[in-house]
A = this chain, B = another copy of it.
């Protein structure tokens, strides 16, 4: 995971991967068949880690909106932490290989879409608690509204991650995140 996040898929050599795993080529090929198989496994692990972290984060006693704000803040911190990557493995792989590997693209897209739906659920929860003052109809239209909010929210996160490359300062990123959260909860 870390190897792929650091160098990207193409620039990560098998030698890098034997060093990172402590295993030798034969073992890796026996277990994962491919360099690509290793990437798929890394993505699976990444997704699993993220998923449990997501569950943990949103299982507390705070209001959904407080949790979403803290979630966003944690991403800001992740963006400026110099440790491995500063980029989400899913979006990094998507940017690098999307047009060349349809299966990989759909795997990553599925994962990101599930994540987006998890966020939509949080907005929905906030809405049923009356914490969201959006104008809206009822029933199905309310559902679509939360979808739209979630889409906008994750678009902002994608943007933050790219933006962090050009302005890697807590000050700028935090103010962008604050603005995003305001716009999404207005």
Interface residues of A (CB under 8 A from B): 6-8, 10-11, 86-87, 91-92, 94-100, 105, 108-109, 112-113, 116, 148, 151-152, 154-163, 165-167, 172, 175-176, 179-180, 183
Contact = CB atoms under 8 A, between A and B. Distances in A.
B162 A162 contact: yes
Q: Give how many copies assemble into the complex.
A: 2
Contact of A94 (B7, B97, B158, B162): B162
Contacts of A11: 10, 100
Q: Is the interface of A mostly helix, strand, loop or mixed?
A: helix
Nearest to A147: B172
Contacts of A166: 94, 108-109, 112-113, 116
30 contacts: A7-B100, A8-B10, A8-B96, A10-B10, A87-B95, A91-B162, A94-B162, A94-B165, A95-B95, A95-B96, A105-B165, A109-B166, A112-B166, A116-B166, A151-B163, A151-B172, A151-B176, A152-B179, A152-B180, A154-B163, A155-B160, A155-B180, A156-B159, A158-B158, A158-B159, A158-B161, A158-B163, A159-B162, A162-B162, A183-B183
